[in-house]
Amino acid sequence: MHTLPASDLALQHILRSGLAVVNDEPIDQARRTDVLHALVEIFSDAQRGSQALAAQNFLMSANESPAFERFALFFRYLNRTCGNDLPQRIAEATQVLSAIEEEHELAPDAKSRVADLFQHLLSAIARESALSPLVSPRELRLSF
Amino acid sequence: MSANLQACSFLIGRLRKEVVRLRAIAFPGHDTGPRKWLNFISGLLDTASSYLTSAQVPSIPDSEVARLIKEAEHLGENVYQLLTYVAGADSTQIPHQVVAPFQRWVSGLGITNTVFFRAEHLPNYELSRVDMRHAALLAGASHSLVDATNSIVWPALRVSVPGHAMGLLPHFAVVGHELGHAIQDRINPDLMPFNQQIMEAVNRAKDRLELEAIPFGHEQSLRVVAILGAWVNELKADAVAHHLVGPGFFFALCGFLELAGQGYGIAPTHPPTDMRRRLLFELLNQGSPSFASVFSDKTQLVLTEEMNSPNVSRCFGADLMYAELKQSLGSVDAAVCIELVPAVEAFAPKIFQAALSELQTNSADLIYTPDQFATDLDLHLESLCHLVPPIEYRDGGKATACGLSTILNVGWAALLTRVDRFPAPKGIGPTEQVAARMECLHELLLKAAELSEARQLWEEQ
């Protein structure tokens, strides 16, 4: 699946709005609903991918490509900061986001850990964008 | 107004002009894919413009102004890239005659995604997926962006074919493979009985890497998942194309691979070429009559595995291949690719069977059979040698339009066995005569695609 930078910008906006949601900051109600729905979908897919990998289901990509692609994306962005805790952090975030969507009460600590994860994701996206090289010059020549 | 805001406004304005220019172009076929794509791009530009407008509100803090301009620049750069997505989709690049028949395959396969076809000057067939459904959640997304995002069925699919010199019509049978990728998620073979073989392959890869002191953790497991998934999907797509076009796909794929590098083909994205060819050849020999027996009966030429791809490289032993491959792919991908080959070849028949079941359930009309192949060669091969394109056939007194698979298969049979019987053009040398005859065949097949489509449209009215 091609990922284009515009998708990253949309993801950044979703994460920023998600931060407002988990930090109980004011946000337009319709946007809150849409963003939460998207976040639950994204994190649930990533969690399924992470569980399949833990179970050594190497056929996951063939059977559940969205789950694999989402987990691979999270792994790319968060492996450096979360390391082996990544599956646990994804599972925790999925649970918290689903609970918020269903308007259940949550401990502030649970929300702040999700906010922390969002911040890590935003930093990683910004870092990757800043480190992207310019398009390389193309050369055609005979090589011997 | 700051210099960067001015520069960004200028970029957005130029991009809008480019969209206006593209809107004036005729895109072939009945589909509205390129138009929807241009609407999506316009929506992104409207959103970028709204960021620039907000950035000029005097009460906004400087940091917010900087962010808005930066994001508008970001969208402008993206739009510039996204415009390349429709490059080559107009009639000057892709033979317009084939687009509508391809779209019949799309609808016949039950593909509901937004699709468009384009040609590019590269030896490459490709189905590219773009999923930007979340673009409507950009902060301050314009109404036009929300509407355009919602009108596209994501992921949007773009089928690329080689343009110009490499765009010989019979080779376009490979499009069947690309459309197979579009339905690959509906093909669900039960591969669990092969899990043990897969685990053994992964363990052998681990052993290879251990010798080089390379650990096998999450990152390496993800490579296994990615490579295995890509290979399974390639075989699903090969299977769909085989059931859609029969021998036409075998000839097209092998002929294309012969022209496009003749390498081993083995890579994280594709299983080895010789394995794919072997598997397809086995399929052509299955059943009674088989495609291979029909071909031999009707053309008096025995169908062999290497018929039109004698120079495609065959993989050699695992150790030697690993030593070669790790130079280009790196140790991890090379070890995984090499060790997966036997497991994947073992379960490939399950994939072909699952693809057939899927097509029998949802697209039975599109399945190309040996009987149909025999009828097609009986009715059209000789006529084509007399410059009569395969446009229609008599079915109990009623004229029926030929399908694209018929045209492609008759085309391949003529290309491989009858080119010397086409009328010789005058005034050119013997080498050029072969090329001229093949060009004549190409033109006849394009004519067949165009007129059979016209006939079908007329029948549908």
Please tell me the pTM assigned to this model: 0.92
pLDDT at A107 over 50: yes
CB contact set of B72 (below 8 Å; sequence gap of 6+) = B8, B12, B48, B49, B51, B52, B55
Model confidence over B236-264: pLDDT tens digits? 999 999 999 999 999 999 998 888 777 89
Model confidence over A12-29: pLDDT tens digits? 999 999 999 999 999 999
Q: Closest CB to A6: pick one of B44, B228, B232.
A: B44
Q: Closest CB to B228: pick one of A2, A11, A61.
A: A61
Whether B135 has its CB under 8 Å from any CB of chain A: the answer is yes
Q: Which residues of B touch A13 (CB under 8 A)?
A: 137-139
Whether B75 has its CB under 8 Å from any CB of chain A: the answer is yes
Other CB atoms within 10 A of residue A106 CB = 13
Cβ-based burial of B250 (10 A; exposed 0-12, middle 13-18, buried ≥19): buried
Residue in chain B lying closest to A61 (CA) = B229
Q: How far apart are CA B230 and CA A65, in angstroms?
A: 10
Other CB atoms within 10 A of residue B331 CB = 18
Residue A91's pLDDT band, with cuts at 50, 70 and 90, is: very high
Q: What is the full DSSP assignment across B121-144?
A: SSS--EEEEE--GGGGGSTT--HH
Do the Cβ atoms of B75 and A6 come within 8 Å?
A: yes
Please report the pLDDT score of residue A7 as a whole number: 59
Which residue, among B45, B218, B269, would best test binding to A if mutated, counting the most A CBs under 10 Å from its CB? B218
Residue A132's pLDDT band, with cuts at 50, 70 and 90, is: confident
Q: Closest CB to A58: pick one of B139, B155, B224.
A: B224
Please report the pLDDT score of residue B30 as a whole number: 66
Do the Cβ atoms of A13 and B188 come within 8 Å?
A: no
Q: Tell me which residues of chain B, numbers 363 to 422, contact chain A at a CB-CB cutoff of 8 Å.
A: none
Name the token pair of B441.
Answer: 């065949």
User: Which residue positions in chain B have pLDDT lower than 70?
Assistant: 1, 30-31
Q: What is the mean pLDDT of residues A56-65?
A: 80
Which residue, among B225, B232, B350, would best test binding to A if mutated, counting the most A CBs under 10 Å from its CB? B225
Pairwise pLDDT comparison (B17 vs A138), residue with the higher score = B17
- Pairs of residues, one from chain A and one from chain B, whose beta carbons lie less than 8 Å apart: 100
Pairing relation of β-strands B392-395 and B126-130?
A: unpaired
pLDDT at A139 over 80: no
Please report the pLDDT score of residue B86 as a whole number: 84
Q: What is the mean pLDDT of residues A42-53?
A: 94
Q: How far apart are CA A136 and CA B22, in angstroms?
A: 28
Please report the pLDDT score of residue B235 as a whole number: 98
CB contact set of B194 (below 8 Å; sequence gap of 6+) = B343, B346, B347, B350
Write the CA distances from B196 to B142, B192, B216, B332, integer angstroms.
52, 8, 18, 20
pLDDT at A2 over 50: no
Model confidence over B46-92: pLDDT tens digits? 999 999 999 999 999 999 999 999 999 999 999 999 998 888 887 77
Q: Closest CB to A58: pick one of B82, B134, B202.
A: B202
Q: How far apart are CA B420 and CA B399, in angstroms?
A: 30
Q: What is the mean pLDDT of residues A105-120?
A: 94
Which residue, among B73, B137, B184, B197, would best test binding to A if mutated, counting the most A CBs under 10 Å from its CB? B137
Please report the pLDDT score of residue A1 as a whole number: 45
Q: Which residues of B touch A9 (CB under 8 A)?
A: 71, 74-75, 78, 138
Please report the pLDDT score of residue A137 as a whole number: 83
Please report the pLDDT score of residue B31 as a whole number: 62
Average pLDDT, chain A: 89
Please report the pLDDT score of residue B1 as a whole number: 66
Helix (H, G, I), strand (E, B) or coil at B457: helix
